[in-house]
A and B are shown apart, each in its own frame.
Chain A
Amino acid sequence: MAWDKETELRLRQVIKDSGVALLNENLVQGTWGNTAVRLDEDHMLVTPTGLDYIALTPEDMPVVQISDPSIWSDGKKPTSERKIHAAIMQARSDINATIHSHPIYCSILASARIELPVMSDEMQKLVGGTCRVGAYGLPGTKKLKNGTVEAMQGRNACFMANHGVFCAGKDMDEAFEIIRIMEKSCYQYIQECTLKATGQQTYSDELLFDYFVVQKTAPKAKKK
């Protein structure tokens, strides 16, 4: 092990807090997300699989080998998505913390598989450009892992098609800043598209509702 106990204890708390923060900031919806933080070149701490973040203790976080994520120790069974976290950490030595989650506005763009343009200077600075969409693959597959690694090239975030978002930073604080700006930028993009489609000046969810209903019902009316 190329890290000291003190660092490990600190990072265990970082991982524990990251899970709670995802919940508190409403960045997990429907199903759980997961996070990882690097210990050294070949090891990372990750969140365990499918467990309540509030109830978890720092000691529950397993240590996973980056070069072979099937090897893990010292905690509860790690997240099934650890292969993707490991692949990003392996491909990018500048990355020390990763977050994968399914917040709603990111999920919307992921389900439409749309590359998000740069929405602000802040997004440019944090994400490093547009946010691409990785190729669709079933959960746990090589196709999904490789698609994510490819879409992350030169960026700190990417969408996972029909699934969610993946964010990576030099530390957990930065990874959080990235997922926050992603969710904010996606919301902004949807608002702008709604205003453009409807020709209105002010966004409201009702505007989107009404546009949807007209879109879905109008062609049928024409046929009659």
Chain B
Amino acid sequence: MNATVQTILEYAQRLVNEKVVGDSDMISIRAELNFMYITKAGVKLCDLTEDDVIKMNIFKVEKEYKYHSEIYKSREDINAICQCYPKWVMPIAKAGVTIPAVLDDMAQIVGPTCKTSADDIVSIVKTLKGRNSCLVKDKGCITSGRTLDEAYTCVLVLDKAAHCFVASSVIGENKIINGIEARLMRFIYKTKYSKKNQENLSAKEEGEIVSEDTSVKEESEV
């Protein structure tokens, strides 16, 4: 089996295991500059097989794959996308509000805030400018990354931050991490932790064999 297809199947299963999927989730990985491997629209990630991962030219796609292709076209820094419907993100997407920096790991991995975009591809691309994730009004969320591992981690952290934000409506407002500290953490995460780690993972997702450098994971732990 193609290594990229295998990676998609593996992460689809992980998303299912973590219970952060709904019924119409789709994940993809960029292949070369103008192609992507993507899960077939309408196939639930829990039922996904090798034959449901298809390769397509990002300039020649049908409507249901446009969310992914348009993001790849506009953002050369993005190599993987998760379009998911995690449980706790849903009420926020419905209300159409922005998730503030409620937790350290959110500030690091997702960013200081996560906005809700209108449900059209132009707005989504615009909302994603300078970011790697957003919510989609009345739908779910879109996360992206240099690797599928990064986009996947983002879904988990986003769902947890969303849960905190939703529950805070009954226990008292969230005390938000101040903007400068949140940006500082994001900066450190992006530069120190992830660069080397992502290079290794990226090579892995493309099927190369690399030695794992674990020492760079430290920042992700706190």
With contact pairs A108-B167, A189-B171, A190-B170 given, residues A140 and B97 touching in the complex (Cβ less than 8 Å): no
A162 to B100, CA, bound (A): 11
- A138: CB under 8 A from chain B? yes
- B166: CB under 8 A from chain A? yes
B169 and A138 contacting across the interface, CB-CB below 8 Å: no
Which residues on B sit within 8 Å (CB–CB) of A215?
169
Which residues on B sit within 8 Å (CB–CB) of A194?
170
Which residues on A sit within 8 Å (CB–CB) of B101?
162
- B175: CB under 8 A from chain A? yes
Total number of A-B contacts with CB less than 8 angstroms?
128
Q: Which chain A residues in 102-142 approach chain B with CB under 8 Å?
A: 102, 104, 107-114, 136, 138-140
Task: Write the A153-192 contact mask toward B (1 if CB under 8 angstroms, else 0).
Answer: 0000000011100000000000000000000000001100
A212 and B103 contacting across the interface, CB-CB below 8 Å: no
**A209 to B, closest residue via Cβ:** B91
Among the interface residues B87, B165, B175, B220, which one has the most CB atoms of the partner chain A within 10 A? B175
With contact pairs A108-B163, A111-B102, A161-B175 given, residues A49 and B218 touching in the complex (Cβ less than 8 Å): yes
Task: Write the A203-223 contact mask toward B (1 if CB under 8 angstroms, else 0).
Answer: 001001111110111000000
**B215 to A, closest residue via Cβ:** A77
Q: Would you give the shortest CB distance from A148 to chain B, in whole angstroms?
A: 13
Q: Would you give the shortest CB distance from B61 to chain A, in whole angstroms?
A: 32
- A35: CB under 8 A from chain B? no
Interface majority SS (helix, strand, loop, mixed), chain B: helix
Q: Would you give the shortest CB distance from B28 to chain A, in whole angstroms?
A: 23
A30 to B105, CA, bound (A): 8
Q: Would you give the shortest CB distance from A160 to chain B, in whole angstroms?
A: 9
Q: Would you give the shortest CB distance from B169 to chain A, in whole angstroms?
A: 5
Q: Which of A79, A111, A136, A189 contacts B221 (CB 8 A)?
A: A79
- B95: CB under 8 A from chain A? yes
Task: Write the A20-33 contact mask toward B (1 if CB under 8 angstroms, else 0).
Answer: 00000000011110
- B13: CB under 8 A from chain A? no
A190 to B171, CA, bound (A): 7
- A90: CB under 8 A from chain B? no
A38 to B95, CA, bound (A): 48
- B130: CB under 8 A from chain A? no
Q: Which of B171, B184, B222 contacts A80 (CB 8 A)?
A: B222
B221 and A107 contacting across the interface, CB-CB below 8 Å: no
With contact pairs A107-B160, A209-B91 given, residues A31 and B167 touching in the complex (Cβ less than 8 Å): no
Given A49-B215, A50-B214, A193-B171, 20 additional A-B pairs, CB 8 A: A30-B103, A30-B156, A31-B105, A31-B221, A32-B221, A50-B220, A51-B217, A102-B103, A102-B160, A108-B163, A108-B164, A109-B171, A110-B103, A111-B168, A114-B171, A138-B184, A139-B185, A140-B222, A190-B167, A216-B169
- A contact set with B: CB distance below 8 Å: 29-32, 34, 49-51, 76-77, 79-81, 102, 104, 107-114, 136, 138-140, 161-163, 189-190, 193-194, 196-198, 205, 208-213, 215-217
